[in-house]
Amino acid sequence: MSQASILVVDDSSAVRDNLSELLTEEGYEVDSCPDGEAALNLLSQRTYEVVLTDLSMPKCDGMEVLKYLVEHFPGTSCIIITGYGTIQNAVDAMRLGAYDYLCKPVESQELLVVVARALEHQRLQWENILLKKQLREKFGFDNIIGVSEPMCQVFDVIRKVADTDSTVLILGESGTGKELVARAIHYNSSRQANPLIPVNCGAIPEDLLESELFGHERGAFTHAIRTRIGRFEQAHGGTIFLDEIGDMSPNLQVKILRVLQDHQFERIGGQKTLKVDIRVIAATNRDLQELVQTGRFREDLYYRLNVIPIIIPPLRQRRSDIPILVNYFIQEFSRKRKKPTIRISPAAMRLLEDYAWPGNVRELENLIERMVILSEGEIIDAHDLPEHLQLTPQEAMRFSAEIPVGGLPLQKMVSDFERQLIIKALKQTGWVKNQAAQLLRLNRTTLVEKIKKQKISRSSP
């Protein structure tokens, strides 16, 4: 039985009594009054989910009641009761904000259906408001964890660009949180009520990505049995997030450039040009400048994307954030797993801070989740961490070599060791030379010279 409260306003006592009795029997809490003036007095004292009001009444008519509700109680549904001769007035009332209207004599079943629909509409509205609030709380950039200077700079740029339509290019290694930043930008913009459509350009085969982005018409190719709406159309009015755009083929880069320039395109196999109102946010862990120099990424597209660059620092460059992130993840996973909150010993925390974190925040998050699940005590100590984390950087660099009686080629061994370290750094950073140079604490030009000297390529073992 519903406990929703309803106010019935009608100058006919017979109508009031009939409607009140019917709604009360249905389980609603019902008040009634004979005119608009009395209704406004009641509305100043309490709120109702639904107000049923006659249009034509002395002193103060139903239109005045509606205007008062729209101004002061927009969450209350107003249902107009009218005679057949004043249906046009009821239509005008709906334009002003009435939920629906009923014609006299009011049929019992129709009344109950309209009231139930009005209450369901309210429920969906409140759920939508709550969902948007939760999304803002989850993806609000104030909730991206970090107090280090590099992250403060990121927050500052997000605040400045969020509520604009400027194209944003997010740069950073895998696992640094590029999609989280994209969501923070969208949900703090004027487009937040419209969709954010993410597309991982590196995870979809090239022959499928074009259809995924632009859609296709029925019969455009084999197995195209029906028209498909692409991601750009789905993002109309909102934001499209093109993740790993550095992996996109040159053929598609041309088409993306056109969308950025003109905001229009055609579906595959289609003749009609479609226009979309979208904001574009792109991200990559690749060095786009290097790709431009080698001819693998269009220079004009790079400059179209790079209007507002946001560089997400790797975790090794924001080590002061590691304790904050560790404690945050412990709290989150302990709550989700319904386990007592564990603590990290100072020795274990030092090892976490010293580690290079090639997988960045994602690697740290996964480790803490594993620690929370597997922990049996109240404290995680250094010996509880994986072996590769228990070694200090100095210990990790040590290796032993037996010197044979006949000696050994020192220069070749040093060269081979250097080669392996460079290849490992390049693989950890997705072959982004700037990031690999930072990992090895070298200048980029020095690293490039060493790569050329060692003849290192992606196919190198």
Reported as a single tens digit per residue, the pLDDT across 178-192 is 999 999 999 889 999
Beta-bridge partner residues of 33? 9
Percent over 90 (pLDDT), the chain: 45
- With cut-offs at 50, 70 and 90, classify the pLDDT of residue 400: very low
Name every residue whose Cβ is closer than 8 Å to that of residue 223 and which is 6 or more positions away in sequence: none
Fold designation for 5-132: Rossmann fold (3.40.50)
Structure tokens at 113: 């259906």
Q: Report, as an integer, the average pLDDT of 304-328.
A: 92
The pLDDT tens digits of the residues spanning 270-296 come to 989 999 999 999 999 999 999 999 999
Task: Write down the pLDDT at residue 139.
Answer: 47
Can you tell me the distance from the alpha carbon of 196 to that of 393, in angstroms, rounded to the nearest whole number? 41
Can you tell me the distance from the alpha carbon of 19 to that of 13, in angstroms, rounded to the nearest whole number? 10
What average pLDDT is seen over the chain?
Answer: 86
Q: Report, as an integer, the average pLDDT of 381-405.
A: 65
Fold designation for 318-396: Helicase, Ruva Protein; domain 3 (1.10.8)
3-state DSSP of the chain: CCCCEEEEECCCHHHHHHHHHHHHHCCCEEEEECCHHHHHHHHCCCCCCEEEEECCCCCCCHHHHHHHHHHHCCCCEEEEEECHHHHHHHHHHHHHCCCEEEECCCCHHHHHHHHHHHHHHHHHHHHHHHHHHHHHHHHCHHHCCCCCHHHHHHHHHHHHHCCCCCCEEEECCCCCCHHHHHHHHHHCCCCCCCCEEEEECCCCCHHHHHHHHHEECCCCCCCCCCCEECHHHHCCCCEEEEECHHHCCHHHHHHHHHHHHHCEECCECCCCCEECCCEEEEEECCCHHHHHHCCCCCHHHHHHHCCEEEECCCHHHCHHHHHHHHHHHHHHHHHHCCCCCCEECHHHHHHHHHCCCCCHHHHHHHHHHHHHHHCCCCEECHHHCCHHHHCCHHHHHCCCCCCCCCCCCHHHHHHHHHHHHHHHHHHHCCCCHHHHHHHHCCCHHHHHHHHHHHCCCCCCC
Percent over 70 (pLDDT), the chain: 91
CATH of 140-313, one of 3.40.50.2300, 3.40.50.1100, 3.40.50.300, 3.40.640.10: 3.40.50.300
Specify the CATH architecture of the domain 408-454.
Answer: Orthogonal Bundle (1.10)
Q: Where in the chain is the domain with CATH 1.10.10?
A: 408-454
Phi, psi for residue 398 in degrees, rounded to 5 = -75, 140
Can you tell me the distance from the alpha carbon of 234 to that of 214, in angstroms, rounded to the nearest whole number? 10
Can you tell me the distance from the alpha carbon of 315 to that of 327, in angstroms, rounded to the nearest whole number? 15
Q: Where in the chain is the domain with CATH 1.10.8.60?
A: 318-396
Task: Write down the pLDDT at residue 402.
Answer: 57
The pLDDT tens digits of the residues spanning 89-108 come to 778 888 888 888 888 888 99
Phi, psi for residue 449 in degrees, rounded to 5 = -60, -40
Alpha-carbon distances of 397 from 345, 389, 413, rounded to whole Å: 25, 13, 15
Q: Where in the chain is the domain with CATH 3.40.50.2300?
A: 5-132
Q: Where in the chain is the domain with CATH 3.40.50.300?
A: 140-313
> Is the C-alpha dihedral spanning 76, 82, 84, 90 positive or negative?
negative
Which of these ranges, 81-90, 270-279, 349-358, has the smallest mean pLDDT? 81-90
Structure tokens at 218: 């029925």
Task: Write down the pLDDT at residue 78.
Answer: 93
Q: Report, as an integer, the average pLDDT of 1-8.
A: 78
The pLDDT tens digits of the residues spanning 188-247 come to 899 998 999 999 998 998 888 999 999 988 888 887 788 888 999 999 999 999 999 999
Fill in the amino acid letter for 416.
D
pLDDT of 133 higher than 90: no
Can you tell me the distance from the alpha carbon of 85 to that of 10, in angstroms, rounded to the nearest whole number? 17
